[in-house]
Chains A and B, each alone.
Chain A
Amino acid sequence: MKRKFPILILFTLILSIFLTACGGGSGQESSSEPTNDDSNTNSSGNGSNVELDFWYIDPGEKEQVYLEAVARFEENNPGVTVNSLRIPNDDYKQRMVVAMSGGNPPDAFVSWGGSWLQEFADAGQVLELNDTDIDFDLYLETALNNATFDEKIYGLPLGISQTLFWYNKELFAEHGLEAPETYEELLHVIDVLNENNIIPITLANQTKWPGAYYLMYFADRLGGEELFLSAYNREGKGFDDAAYVRAGEYIQELVDRNAFNPGFNGVPYDAGQGRQLMYSGQSAMMLMSTAFINNIRQEAPDFEEKVDFFPFPTLPDGNGDPTNLGGATSPVWSAYSQTEHPELVIELLKELGSVETATEYENRTGATSGLKNIETDDVFVQKFAEVAANANDIHMPYDQTLPPALAELHKDTTQELLGKTMTPEEAAEKMEQKAKEVLE
């Protein structure tokens, strides 16, 4: 027994040397790959047996639209194969972090823009697109801004969504209600629905982002888009601004009015119980992104004719522009900075973000594209585009703009505001404290 130990120890030592050698080797291996590729070059023009990796998230019809764009790219670039890989939403962030730190990320990948992309961009992992022949005028400025950091563009936004109040027209008509334009009208609607035993607003807030819509909208309506930008850029205002405290008070007022389904903080959005309340007529309204129309079409097609939307109501003490919208960009196409074939990857990005792809995207997926002036037959998409075009500003979700730690706190505190385990003052103070730590 005793004699085995020295051998074992020696063995572990040898092994660890072996392992470290491996670690060094893999780095060299990847750098030698281009020469490998070159030696494989066929005689057929520029087309060698080049392989590009492309990662995306969306399943279903969106996936088809992307894959068709990839097919067009492959047709235009003979000899290039794109390995398209769909990664489930929940795994995606983790997979990308591991791939990036492991030095083997995909050549082209999807993101939501915002701080998540910025984190990689700041680390020099994302290809800067400024000096390419990409026509950036194709894209909506608000959408493109979400992938632009320090005036460098890192992604092409194919899609943009808006956050709107969805409501059940039938239920509203039944109880003599109209889509509210002001906060008072919204409160009236809530009271009437409550009297009739209908849950006024569905909120599925286990995942925290659906509740965050309220804070962002209230803050935008109260202080305008400058409020967040000023707080984020540390230019005078802070996250403890009176408007943020007031936004928290509004949220808690809605909670006190029984505006939401009971136990909303424990209901995950993806599992679908929240939407079920809407479909079954147990609930009448939901503040949700325009992606909701996709859910409806897949899960309850009959519901589509009953549903309509109205913009977030105006507030009596609001100083913000009432046409302001909340929104998000997705998908945003970006490329890995160390890719071996930057020209080809840029061509791929261009195809994925082309007018043709965007037209297919709008017509087939019920989502608005991040490109300007796309023609579509989809009535809902036309309406979304109209609201977006009339908007003075579209604010992106805080959790995409703020650095991750602060973004998480923003969602946590808003969840606690909704759960009434934190006062608006406490929440605002916590945010500002963290903001000072992270942003300054």
Chain B
Amino acid sequence: MKTALNQDTVISPVVNKDKRKKAKTILLFVLPALLVYSVFILYPIIATFNYSMYDWNGVQAHKEFIGLANYASLFADATFWQALKNNMLLVLVSVFIQIPLGLVMALVLFSPVMGKKFLNVIFFLPYLMSTVAIGLLWIFMYDPINGPVNQLVQMFGFNSVPWLADKNTAMIAILIVVVWQFSPFYMILFKAAMVGIPDELYEAASIDGANGTQKFYYITLPALIPTVVTSSILAIVGSLKAFDIFYIMTGGGPGGATEILGTYMYKQGFIHFSMGYASTIAAVMFLIAFVCVVIIQIIEHQRKKRGLFT
């Protein structure tokens, strides 16, 4: 630590005592969080990139450095592309279905409807359950013979659908669960943001003769854009690193139809004993998520600069 400060003085010898003291204080305050952050976030990320350069089974101490060979075989791996495709589908569904649905639910709770408290609880309940419980619950819901979903389907005169067993329906079945589980989270975000919109704006709009739809488009929506951006980042990053619900409900099957990067990484690392290759998948996941967030941040920055909606 001493060295750090000395270095600092060397770099900028003109700093007065006051400023140096300030830097020290800042440093001391940052230190605990930085320590935790370094040990649990920074170091693992760097380690992942390091491991991804090795042919390593994760059990032996022996590792063989193979450079970028893991990356080469990853990009030639059909399962990887299938998993990436499924992840992208998950991203699209999260951004374009979950978030709007969360918004609608928040709007419902802000409108003068009966039993708002009751609806609030109903809407939020899925988010409170653990993913393992949700996964098992929905496995039973989708049961081809005794499941409620199929009994409903049969009531309408259709044949029962083997939701999780059919390559064509398995992904959709899980996406429905994901939407069901995570929409309430965005609802809460939107609700919090809506509380912050001043009532005067609506009053003024009413005086100007705006109807409900106009109020939504010209006041509510623009005021919620920052929340939409935050939600999108969370949704994209969350979708890219998804794992649990897929692992529990299908384990990536049938025939790789619901394989996502998370489950594929798990399989490579802990079932196939190729920790090096699994690290490569993890590294690529990190890069994709990182690039996505950077792009969103840039767009957001541009938007702020142009002053759109704000």
Contact = CB atoms under 8 A, between A and B. Distances in A.
Given A3-B23, A125-B59, A405-B272, A416 B254 contact: yes
Contacts of A267: 139, 143-144, 164-165
Interface in A1-58: 3-4, 6-8, 10-12, 14-16, 19
Given A3-B8, A262-B160, A263-B163, A271 B136 contact: yes
A268 interface: yes
B77 to A, nearest CB: 12
B interface bracket (residues with beta carbon within 8 Å of A):
35 or more
Given A10-B3, A408-B272, A120 B165 contact: no
Contacts of B166: 263, 265-266, 419
Q: Name the residue in B5, B35, B43 with the highest tally of chain A Cβ atoms < 10 Å from its Cβ.
A: B43
A113 to B, nearest CB: 16
14 contacts: A7-B27, A10-B3, A11-B27, A19-B43, A101-B275, A206-B251, A208-B251, A267-B139, A271-B140, A273-B139, A276-B146, A277-B145, A419-B167, A421-B255
Contacts of A268: 139
For the complex of A and B, 4 pairs with smallest distance between CB atoms: A263-B162, A266-B164, A263-B144, A266-B165
A268 B27 CA distance: 52
Contact of B270 (A93, A205, A206, A262): A93
B103 to A, nearest CB: 32
A389 interface: no
Interface residues of A, number: 49
A21 B90 CA distance: 41
A19 to B, nearest CB: 6
A206 B58 contact: no
B206 interface: no
Contacts of A273: 139-140, 143, 145-146
Given A208-B253, A405-B272, A3 B38 contact: no
Chain A contact residues: over half helix, strand or loop, or mixed? helix
A120 B59 contact: yes
A129 interface: no
B12 interface: yes
Contacts of B15: 3
Contact of B59 (A7, A11, A101, A277): A101
B4 A19 contact: no
Interface of B: 1, 3-5, 7-8, 11-12, 15, 23, 26-27, 30-31, 34-35, 38-39, 42-43, 57-61, 136, 139-140, 142-146, 160-167, 170, 250-251, 253-256, 267, 269-275
A17 B271 CA distance: 33
A416 B255 contact: yes
A415 B58 contact: no
B43 A16 contact: yes
A90 to B, nearest CB: 9
Given A11-B4, A15-B38, A97-B273, A123 B60 contact: yes
A263 B12 CA distance: 71
Contacts of B144: 261-264, 266-267
A281 interface: no
Given A119-B273, A266-B166, A266-B254, 10 more contacts: A7-B23, A8-B30, A94-B270, A97-B58, A123-B57, A206-B254, A261-B145, A267-B144, A267-B165, A416-B254
A84 interface: no
A404 B272 contact: yes
Given A125-B59, A408-B271, A416-B255, A266 B170 contact: yes
A206 B254 CA distance: 7
B164 A206 contact: yes
A119 B57 CA distance: 9
Contact of B162 (A119, A199, A265): A265
Given A4-B23, A19-B39, A93 B271 contact: yes
A12 B254 contact: no
Contact of B165 (A12, A97, A263): A263
Contacts of B170: 266
A123 B59 contact: yes
Contacts of B256: 412
A376 interface: no
Interface string A400-413: 00001100100010
Given A262-B162, A263-B165, A415 B43 contact: no
A415 B253 contact: yes
Given A119-B59, A262-B145, A266-B250, A422 B165 contact: no
A94 B268 CA distance: 12
A207 interface: yes
A351 B164 CA distance: 45
Contact of B255 (A15, A277, A422): A422
Interface in A198-230: 199, 205-208
A265 B270 contact: no
B179 to A, nearest CB: 19
B270 A97 contact: yes
B58 A412 contact: no
A10 B23 CA distance: 14
Contacts of A100: 59
A282 interface: yes
B255 A206 contact: no
B131 to A, nearest CB: 14
Interface string A58-98: 00000000000000000000000000000000000110010
Contacts of A207: 251
B60 A265 contact: no
B272 to A, nearest CB: 5
Contacts of B253: 206, 208, 265, 412, 415
A12 to B, nearest CB: 6
B254 A419 contact: yes
B273 A7 contact: no
A123 B273 CA distance: 12
Nearest to B150: A263
A422 B256 CA distance: 12
A392 B182 CA distance: 55
